[in-house]
Amino acid sequence: MSQASSLAAGSASAEATSAAGRVQWSTRMAFILAAAGSAVGLGNIWKFPYITGENGGGAFVLVYLACILIIGIPVMMAEIALGRRGRHNPAQGISSIVKEAGAHPFWKIIGGMALLAGFMILCFYSIIAGWAFAYVPKAASGAFVGASADEIGAMFGGMLADPVGLTIWGTLVLAITMWIVSRGLQGGLEKAINTLMPGLLVLLLVMVGYAMSTDHFEHGLEFLFAADFSKLTASSVLVALGHAFFTLSLASGAIMTYGSYLPKNVSIVKTSLLIAFMDTAVALLAGLAIFPLVFANGLEPGAGPGLIFVTLPIAFGQMPFGTAFGAIFFILLAVAALTSAISLLEPTVSWMTEKFDMSRAKACALTGLLLWVGGIGVVLSLNIGAEWTLFGKTFFDMLDYLTANWMMPLGGLMMAIFCGWVLSRETTIDEMGMGKGLLYKAWLFTLRYVSPIAIIVVFLNALGVIQL
């Protein structure tokens, strides 16, 4: 089995190869689960609620949903198609498509930038995933039982103030991610995701149920869904756009690499819609579970990255079976984060194995080491180095800001233009597999005009060139 394709290995049927000789996902479901595993992660449960809180609620959520619909979904389809067409890691895959299409070499930048964005995200993603891991023993030991909001806030603050602890948990996350990616255990992963996703959904529903029992459910609902556009700023629109990319795992190599293992007969349209739907549902459920608790406990919706690590433990400390629910919840969150982290590491590893003919193990070790160094920078941003800022942003803030708000939308813009304008219609018709009827035309129109114009308008608005 070739090194580059051993990701898809693990279950015997996964070793079915395409005409081009590349190992592929065992089934359509395997791809959907892996892509959904990539999409659903900290972005949905940790980031979505806290940025919604910071950006005023309803109007922000509406813009985010619009971005998913008119930009995220069409770009996701384009990205999967590019991955499948390239049949390689993002850099070489895009390169070969550029060559095949006789396009300007400039377009190769799409692949390189995606690899870089994925790497930068994983630097901080592993540290935040470490928070979820750290909360498993906390929850299981009953540390939240009867604790006040202040005490739980202090627990979170204590964790952030401890660079050694954060490093240990982050290292654990990286080590597990490297181990899984180096072994190409996709078969086992498929199974893990299979039980994890429904489990996460059930627990989120339990938490929403609990939130309903507080007398602030309506308040939470109103915060999430009543749009007050006066609260929307140029930068919050940019954050909403960036988050649509982040939460769907776009423009960072992940979806493109997973798409490169996709058999030709699988419908890109249906799978993209399904993944986007699941992803959005999980984010909204997380919001519904969290905001009523925020208001019921007199907390600040704009409290920042600690939001779920403070609100949910309060609930776990008060509800029946809270210790068990809390432990299970953080285990599920940790696994959801791991399946995303795996998809963030895979593109770089597949690039190194294919480009430099390196073994997967070596590529994982090397990338892991670099990620670990980046992770230390992120850890220090949270405590000792909180004052070390550039343009008022710590290293962690900078990684998050640059990737989500600029690199990913820019990558998405380039993919939309490349697929919509540069590639021939024959190529996209062939790859999308939805005929050349109305559906295809609607997709192409969105990709050619709607998505690029929307992204450019948000960019210009954020830069202050125009005012919405």
166/378 Cα distance (integer angstroms): 10
- Which residues in the 84-123 window bind ligand PHE by CB under 6 A? 118, 121
Residue 147's contacts (CB-CB under 8 Å, 6 or more residues apart) are 155, 313, 314, 317
Q: How far is the CB of 333 from ligand PHE (least distance, A)?
A: 10
* Part of the chain binding ligand PHE (CB under 6 A), chosen from 188-196, 243-251, 268-276, 313-321: 243-251
The size of the interface with ligand PHE (CB under 6 A), counted in residues, is 16
Task: Name the residue nearer to ligand PHE (CB basis): 38 or 177.
Answer: 38
CA angle (455, 456, 460) in 5-degree steps: 120
Nearest to 1 by CA among 19, 21, 20: 21
Q: Which residue in the set 5, 252, 353, 461 belongs to the binding site for ligand PHE (CB under 6 A)?
A: 252
Residue 463's contacts (CB-CB under 8 Å, 6 or more residues apart) are none
CA-to-CA separations, 386 to 118, 163, 254, 396, in angstroms, rounded: 24, 12, 30, 9
Phi, psi of 52 (to 5 degrees): -65, -40
Q: Which residue in the set 254, 312, 363, 378 belongs to the binding site for ligand PHE (CB under 6 A)?
A: 254
134/126 Cα distance (integer angstroms): 12
* Part of the chain binding ligand PHE (CB under 6 A), chosen from 159-167, 218-226, 245-253, 454-462: 245-253
Task: Name the residue nearer to ligand PHE (CB basis): 249 or 272.
Answer: 249
90/381 Cα distance (integer angstroms): 30
**What's the one-letter identity of residue 67?**
C
Q: How far is the CB of 445 from ligand PHE (least distance, A)?
A: 27
User: The tokens of 324 are what?
Assistant: 């068990």
Task: Name the residue nearer to ligand PHE (CB basis): 295 or 309.
Answer: 309
391/275 Cα distance (integer angstroms): 36
* Part of the chain binding ligand PHE (CB under 6 A), chosen from 144-152, 179-187, 208-216, 241-249: 241-249
x/- letters, 326..345, toward ligand PHE (CB under 6 A): --------------x--xx-
Burial of 381 (0-12, 13-18, 19+ CB in 10 A): buried
Task: Name the residue nearer to ligand PHE (CB basis): 115 or 254.
Answer: 254
Task: Name the residue nearer to ligand PHE (CB basis): 38 or 405.
Answer: 38
Q: DSSP letters along 194-262, please?
A: HHHHHHHHHHHHHHHHHHHHSTTHHHHHHHHHS--GGG--HHHHHHHHHHHHHHTT-SSSHHHHHHHT-
Nearest to 136 by CA among 333, 331, 395: 331
Neighbours of 435 (CB within 10 A): 10
User: The tokens of 312 are what?
Assistant: 């949910």
Any contact of residue 405 with ligand PHE (CB under 6 A)?
A: no
Task: Name the residue nearer to ligand PHE (CB basis): 299 or 338.
Answer: 338
Asked whether the beta carbons of 34 and 186 are under 8 A apart, the reply is: yes
Q: How far is the CB of 210 from ligand PHE (least distance, A)?
A: 23
Task: Name the residue nearer to ligand PHE (CB basis): 124 or 217.
Answer: 124
Asked whether the beta carbons of 384 and 416 are under 8 A apart, the reply is: no
Task: Name the residue nearer to ligand PHE (CB basis): 30 or 434.
Answer: 30
| Residue nearest ligand PHE by beta-carbon distance | 43
Q: How far is the CB of 248 from ligand PHE (least distance, A)?
A: 6
- Which residues in the 120-179 window bind ligand PHE by CB under 6 A? 121
> DSSP secondary-structure letter at 266?
S
Q: How far is the CB of 282 from ligand PHE (least distance, A)?
A: 9
Q: How far is the CB of 38 from ligand PHE (least distance, A)?
A: 5
Task: Name the residue nearer to ligand PHE (CB basis): 343 or 353.
Answer: 343
Q: Which residue in the set 5, 95, 171, 249 belongs to the binding site for ligand PHE (CB under 6 A)?
A: 249
Q: How far is the CB of 113 from ligand PHE (least distance, A)?
A: 13
Task: Name the residue nearer to ligand PHE (CB basis): 327 or 342.
Answer: 342
Task: Name the residue nearer to ligand PHE (CB basis): 8 or 278.
Answer: 278
Residue 367's contacts (CB-CB under 8 Å, 6 or more residues apart) are 119, 178, 345, 348, 349, 352
- Which residues in the 31-50 window bind ligand PHE by CB under 6 A? 38-39, 41-44
Nearest to 121 by CA among 383, 295, 359, 337: 337
Residue with tokens 């039980």: 195
Q: How far is the CB of 297 from ligand PHE (least distance, A)?
A: 25
Q: How far is the CB of 83 from ligand PHE (least distance, A)?
A: 13
Interaction site with ligand PHE (CB under 6 A): 38-39, 41-44, 118, 121, 246-247, 249, 252, 254, 340, 343-344
